[in-house]
Structure 1
């Protein structure tokens, strides 16, 4: 199974090699903002790949891979759930909706700039999201006809455009915290290999149409027998991460906060 980092062209021989690669990207990162005692720094390059680092006086507390998504979805914000391992990875729970606000499905996703935007996501707000789906295993069919033929005889059949918010379901019958995961079947609209300029490694990018809208899909080439092409049908387990591109509340001004605390 591919790692999230390998889906944007960052692989490592071992933990020590991974640490060196992260240190290099951190050195090349740019400051994005601060919240309290923490700072967000972001490395990105022309491929669209990015890594968001949350730093404190003790060092790096979180490193989240991302990608500059071209796809857009409409969502209604609900609340943030709690990640048991990292508070900077708390998933945002939303309802994916159509242009009229009608529900497609609930979903959980991480935000790679959570440090700066958490307090700007209001419950019930209508958001525009650019979401990326990092493949943790991927099956590919040449076209819709081939996929539909493969469904024959199966007890559980999927349409060519379907999404199951698997991160909201129990795992092996055991309740768990919401996770930014989905099982997606979709049609490839655009596809191409990208080169991570920091590592020289390639990764697969595609825009995939599924139920409820389109997602930017990222995958390690090692997961694929051949590069994806428009018209392919893909299916697999995905980790979701993205950004709110519209609908955030205005950030409070520091001076205003000081006046409010004094009053």
Structure 2
């Protein structure tokens, strides 16, 4: 299973190597703004890949991979839920909307600039989101016909464009915090390999159409037999991270970031 970082061309031999890579990215990052005692610093390059660091006087408290999404989805904000391991990774719960403002499905997504935008997301607000789906496990079929054939003997069948907000479900009888995860099946509209200029490693980027709209999909080439092509059908478990590109309110308390992270 690919790591989130490997989906944007950042791999490491061991924890020490990973720490060195993160330190280098932090050195090359730029300040996106401050909130209270914390600062958001962002490394990004021409490939679209980014890593957002939340930094305090105690050091780095959070590092979130991201990507400059081209896709846009319409949503209605519900609330933030809690991440059990990191307060800077609390998922935002939303409803994905159709063109008439009717809900498709609920979803949880992480925001890579949460430090600066949490206080600017109002419950019930209409938002425009740029969402990225980082592949944690992915299967690929040449086209829809091949996908349907592969499902012929399966008890449970999926549409070629479907999405299950898997992060909102838990096994019966078990407590499970909401997570920014989805089981996504979709059609590749555009695809291409990108090079992370810092590491020299490549990663797969694609625009994928599924139920509710388009998502930017990122994957490690190691998880793909061959690069994705338009017309392919993909399916798998994905981690969701993105940014609110429209619909934020003004800061509700002192500490407005000096310079907002550009969409």
Cα displacement (A) at 1:199:
0.3
Q: Computing the radius of gyration over CA atoms, which structure comes out larger, 1 or 2?
A: 1
Secondary structure of the 2:134 match is: strand
Q: Which residue of 2 aligns with 1:53?
A: 53
Deviation of residue 172 (structure 1)?
6.7
**CA offsets 1:104-123 (integer angstroms, 9 cap, x no match):** 00000000000000000000
- Distance change (3 Å), C-alpha of 1:110 and 1:255: closer
**Does residue 129 of the first structure (1) align with residue 98 of the second (2)?**
no
User: 2: distance between equivalents of 1:5 and 1:220?
Assistant: 9
Q: Which runs of 5+ in 2 are unaligned?
A: 257-263
Deviation at 1:26, TM superposition (A): 0.2
CA distance in 2, matches of 1:147, 1:175: 34
Equivalent in the alignment of 2:215 = 215
Q: How far apart are 1:253 and its partner, in Å?
A: 7.6
Looking at structure 2, the residues matched to 45 and 231 of structure 1 have their Cα atoms a distance apart, in angstroms, of 28
- When normalised by structure 1's length, the TM-score is 0.95
Show CA shifts across 1:134-179 (max 9, x none). Answer: 0001000000111111111110000000000000000475220100
> Can you list the C-alpha shifts for 1:44-73, whole angstroms capped at 9, x where unaligned?
000000000000000000000000000000
3-state secondary structure, aligned to 2:76: strand
Secondary structure of the 1:20 match is helix
1:160 is matched with which residue? 160
Give matches, 1:38-187, under 5 Å: 38-171=38-171, 174-187=174-187
**Distance in structure 2 (CA, Å) of the matches to 1:51 and 1:11:** 13
Question: Judging changes above 3 Å, is the alpha-carbon distance between structure 1 residues 156 and 100 closer, same or farther for their aligned structure 2 residues?
Answer: same
CA spacing shift, 1:172–1:45, aligned 2, 3 Å? farther
2:36 touches 2:255 (CA, 8 Å); kept in 1?
Answer: no
Q: Please list the CA deviations of residues 204-261 of structure 1 after superposition, one character each: whole Å capped at 9, or x if unmatched.
A: 00000000000000000000000000000000000000000000002358499xxxxx
2-side partners of 1:22 and 1:41: how far apart? 12
CA, structure 1 residues 171+46, in 2 after alignment: closer, same or farther (shift >3 Å)? farther
Deviating runs (4+, > 2 A) in structure 1?
Answer: 251-256
CA distance in 2, matches of 1:171, 1:80: 22
1:229 and 2:229 are equivalent in the alignment: yes
Distance 2:3 2:172 in 1: 22
How many residue pairs get aligned? The number is 256
Q: Which residue of 2 aligns with 1:242?
A: 242
In structure 1, what is the equivalent of residue 261 of structure 2? none
CA RMSD of aligned residues (A): 1.3
